[in-house]
Structure 1
Amino acid sequence: MKILAIDTSTEACSAALYLDGELIERYLVAPRKHIELLKPMVDEVMKAAEIDVNDLTGLAFGAGPGSFAGLRVACAFVQGMGAGLDIPVVPVSTLKAMAQQVLDTHPERTVLVMLDAKMKEVYWGVYRLEDKEVMTVLPEQVTNIQEIPNFAGIVGLANIVGAGDGWNVVPNWVEALKPEFIEKNVYPRAGDIALLAIDDFEDGMALDADQVSPIYLRNNIALTIEEQKALKKES
């Protein structure tokens, strides 16, 4: 399996190639430079692997939530490349990819990931490992920072840790949940996105290039990842 994955959903930009069990990645935190960095990063990982784009079997991308502009950059890239090469695409949650990083080093924890959504809101989701697979404990959502949602299902869970820059703007969540620690400087990485996409490729759940769209969360602007998979099943 040869999967090219990209992410431009936050201040970080990355590209990774999963090549039959090996991973090659380029990653850089560089706000507002995604357009100029993405293509060179893709070229670098392809060159390092010594393969041509025509050898790729699939694409994956950080579908959101995140920066609207950044999500559109990544989505347009995989749509164009997927259509041109006639290969399938898997959209991957950026919050889940962030959780993967924390769970790689703290597998016994439950991770509450939060991203600053601006407009006095945060994107968040809760994840943990089950049988070495990242599972969603509570679905991803966007919440006003002045509100503490119903924490039933979170409060009482053991070993809660935090991840993401959303923790910078919601100190009330820290007081309510009392996480063991918070890793604020965590961004989605294309390498994690590639690894998270493997099961969908193997299960035949990848989408056609014209079926994918960003996951904004706000106002149902786009289909959720679950809705995109359901569309794939129907088609």
Structure 2
Amino acid sequence: MSKLLAFDTSTEHLSVAVRHGEQVLAHHGAGGAQASATLLPLIQQLLRDAGLALSGLDAIVFGRGPGSFTGLRTACSVAQGLAFGANVPLLPVDTLLAVAEEARHVSGAQQLVAVLDARMDQVYAARYDFAAHGPLGGDDEPLLLSPEALEVPAGWALAGNAFAAYGPRLAATGARHEVLPGAEAMLRLAPALLAAGRTVPAAQAWPLYVRDKVAQTTEERAAIKAAAAASAT
């Protein structure tokens, strides 16, 4: 399959890419609240630039999470609407896998722990071993945990966007790679995911939620601040 559209809105950055044969066109920009307004126009522009019609795509690849609740809903709803309208299969990609693939691509690292800032003093994390498990790195389930609870095997690299917020609290002896789940990484993962039969119909464009709560109570925020202050003394 050489005609693919991919996009991710799981973080504060938006990423869209189109593959037409050997040609790859991509756009990266601000996400967050803006993604719902800018994603569709960007998709339309990139498809035009690549000389592709939506109905001519082999599949639509989208980041299913974990990540921002609003961002995941945006990606899933856009993917679902496009797939219903054009009768194109969907290929959901775990955002942590896309993080690991991007770090592998830029650094050559084969054993990685992907970690994304989950806010609320927590991170999303999963392990990927490309040397042992091939192009998909295995099937590790994503976790939601405190930065201090993250376990990184000796010599494994750490990749993601959680370093600015939690860097000193992430115990790791290997290299660190500041990367995001990008659409180009999803395009590179697509052949192996397609071969594994991971496409879904439009009705199953579901987000991967690891957390079922998006806000803290006043008491919970106060307790977190108190714990952080205590650990700093």
Taking structure 2 as the reference length, what is the TM-score of the superposition? 0.81
Instruction: Describe how 1:16-165 pairs up with structure 2 within 5 A.
Output: 16-130=17-131, 133-136=135-138, 138-145=140-147, 147-148=148-149, 151=151, 154-156=152-154, 158=155, 160-165=156-161
CA RMSD of aligned residues (A): 2.3
Q: Which protein shows a greater Rg?
A: 2
Q: CA distance change for structure 1 residues 173 and 9 in 2, over 3 Å: closer, same or farther?
A: same
SS of structure 2 residue aligned to 1:97: helix
Q: Which residue of 1 aligns with 2:168?
A: 171
How far off its partner does 1:115 sit?
A: 1.1
SS of structure 2 residue aligned to 1:142: strand
Q: Deviations over 1:185-220 (max 9, x none)?
A: x21111211221222324443110101200111259
Q: Is the CA contact (8 Å cut-off) linking 1:148 and 1:172 kept in structure 2? A: no
Q: Deviations over 1:107-147 (max 9, x none)?
A: 244222211111221101122323761403743111134x5
How far off its partner does 1:14 sit?
A: 1.6
Q: Is the CA contact (8 Å cut-off) linking 2:77 and 2:205 kept in structure 1? A: no
What amino acid is the match of 2:54?
Answer: V
Aligned length: 211
Query: Following the alignment from structure 1 to structure 2, what is the Cα–Cα distance between the partners of residues 59 and 137?
Result: 22
Query: Following the alignment from structure 1 to structure 2, what is the Cα–Cα distance between the partners of residues 63 and 30?
Result: 15
Q: 1:213 aligns with which of 203, 206, 223?
A: 206
Taking structure 1 as the reference length, what is the TM-score of the superposition? 0.80
Instruction: Describe how 1:175-186 pairs up with structure 2 within 5 A.
Output: 177-180=172-175, 182-184=176-178, 186=179
What amino acid is the match of 2:49?
Answer: A
Q: Which residue of 1 aligns with 2:181?
A: 188
Query: Following the alignment from structure 2 to structure 1, what is the Cα–Cα distance between the partners of residues 107 and 194?
Result: 26
Q: Is the CA contact (8 Å cut-off) linking 1:14 and 1:41 kept in structure 2? A: no
Query: Following the alignment from structure 1 to structure 2, what is the Cα–Cα distance between the partners of residues 66 and 43?
Result: 24
How far off its partner does 1:86 sit?
A: 1.3
Deviates more, 1:24-33 or 1:120-129: 24-33
Structure 2 residues without counterparts, runs of 5 or longer: 214-233
SS of structure 2 residue aligned to 1:76: helix
Larger helix proportion of the pair = 2
Structure 1 residues without counterparts, runs of 5 or longer: 221-235
Larger strand proportion of the pair = 1
What amino acid is the match of 1:117?
Answer: A
Query: Following the alignment from structure 1 to structure 2, what is the Cα–Cα distance between the partners of residues 30 and 138?
Result: 27
Query: Following the alignment from structure 2 to structure 1, what is the Cα–Cα distance between the partners of residues 157 and 139?
Result: 13
Query: Following the alignment from structure 2 to structure 1, what is the Cα–Cα distance between the partners of residues 129 and 34?
Result: 32
Q: CA distance change for structure 1 residues 75 and 148 in 2, over 3 Å: closer, same or farther?
A: same
SS of structure 1 residue aligned to 2:103: helix
SS of structure 2 residue aligned to 1:215: coil
Query: Following the alignment from structure 1 to structure 2, what is the Cα–Cα distance between the partners of residues 118 and 106?
Result: 27
Deviates more, 1:1-10 or 1:28-37: 28-37
Q: CA distance change for structure 1 residues 55 and 28 in 2, over 3 Å: closer, same or farther?
A: same
Q: CA distance change for structure 1 residues 69 and 31 in 2, over 3 Å: closer, same or farther?
A: closer
Q: CA distance change for structure 1 residues 199 and 183 in 2, over 3 Å: closer, same or farther?
A: closer
How far off its partner does 1:30 sit?
A: 4.2
